[in-house]
Amino acid sequence: MADTRSDDYKPLPKDFLEKDWKEGFGIFYKGGGESGGKFLKFLDYHPSDYSHLYKVLREKDHHEFYVHEEELYSYYRNCLVKNLKLGILQESPPTLEVFQRIYPIAIRIINDYLEFETSERILTALEEIPNLLMEAQAREPICLSKIFAITRQDSRVATHCVNVGYYCLALGIELKMDPKELRETFIGGLFADLGKKFIPSAILLKEKALDADETQEVHKHPSFGRKLLKDMRGFSDIVLDMAREHHENFDGSGYPHQLKGNRISYHGRICKIMDVFNALTCDRPFRQRMTPFQALTLMKDNIPDSFDPQLLTTFFNAIALK
């Protein structure tokens, strides 16, 4: 089998094979000379045959292998998300458990999008996730402190994305948003940092303070993220605003546009609070995580001008009173 549409083939990271594929897929390599650089099928992989495949790939360690993006997409949508949805619909678990079950799968899909050379199509496998969360919280509302208890506090960008999405949703519940707005606020939080895919990982993972050029590079990610989401089409202004404005400070000292006060959208101001809260309560290469109380205290006492004061008070009460 040969194909000339090279954009459809994505490099296959070895650790990807260690994931729990339930269906087989084709593994390809790039032909040389006579094939004119076409992608040729190396073998059909089936999960029951993993040990054989592992041995073959080790022998061919100098080769780079590829997978067709259609099969990657099918795996996320038809295996991971479909099984998740079926389980939730059949068992109707408590709201907190629904959030718990969705959490690692959302992280995995976003992480693979950020880490692998996949296109944004992979993200569309997440389409059903907001509905599952909305249905669960409509049955039995969930509060921020309970959500905090199920989130991880590691330093991965994908973890940050899902945490911010969950926290924005929780704050939206406190703010009595209607279901449509709540859904958009969750998606906006979840996708606000996707622009980091276009920032070199050497900068994102650097353990020392960034120099001026590196800082300038990081400051591009809100604009990159908004453009990515806009190009994908179908996302609301709420989602686009949250990507663009989640680093704008209420006093106008943020980035990338130095917007001030109410010139920052309402949802952008919500995302700003949850982004900082998650950054402070998660491990970072250069410092340890804070407790929620330490993070809240710092936000309220040391950098209050960064945030919408009313929203910060709502958030503070949501954490402190429950």
11 DSSP 8-state letter:
E
Three-state DSSP class for residue 4: coil
Nearest distance in Å: CB 271, Fe ion: 9
Q: Name the site residues for Fe ion (rule: CB under 5 A).
A: 193
Tell me how far apart the alpha carbons of residues 316 and 267 are, in angstroms, rounded to a whole number. 17
Closest CA to 39 of 64, 75, 72, 15: 64
Which position's Cβ is nearest Fe ion?
Answer: 193
Three-state DSSP class for residue 65: strand
State the DSSP H helix or E strand holding residue 98, giving kind and residue range, or none if neither. helix 95-115
Residue number, 13 or 256, with CB nearest to Fe ion:
256
Helix axes 266-281, 309-320, angle to 10 degrees: 50
Contact 71, 25 (CB under 8 A): yes
Residue number, 193 or 241, with CB nearest to Fe ion:
193
Nearest distance in Å: CB 302, Fe ion: 20
Nearest distance in Å: CB 70, Fe ion: 31
Residue number, 184 or 193, with CB nearest to Fe ion:
193
Residue number, 17 or 161, with CB nearest to Fe ion:
161
Residue number, 136 or 169, with CB nearest to Fe ion:
169
State the DSSP H helix or E strand holding residue 20, giving kind and residue range, or none if neither. none
Spatial neighbors of 280 by CB under 8 A, at least 6 apart, are 289, 290, 294, 295, 298, 299
Residue number, 6 or 253, with CB nearest to Fe ion:
253
Pairing of strands 9-11, 2-3: unpaired
Helices (H), 155-265: 157-174, 179-191, 201-204, 212-218, 221-232, 237-245
Nearest distance in Å: CB 164, Fe ion: 9
Residue number, 209 or 321, with CB nearest to Fe ion:
209
Tell me how far apart the alpha carbons of residues 157 and 115 are, in angstroms, rounded to a whole number. 10
Closest CA to 21 of 68, 59, 63, 78: 78
Residue number, 193 or 308, with CB nearest to Fe ion:
193
Contact 43, 67 (CB under 8 A): no
Tell me how far apart the alpha carbons of residues 89 and 87 are, in angstroms, rounded to a whole number. 6
Instruction: Calculate ∠ Cα 233-271-162, nearest 5°.
Output: 75
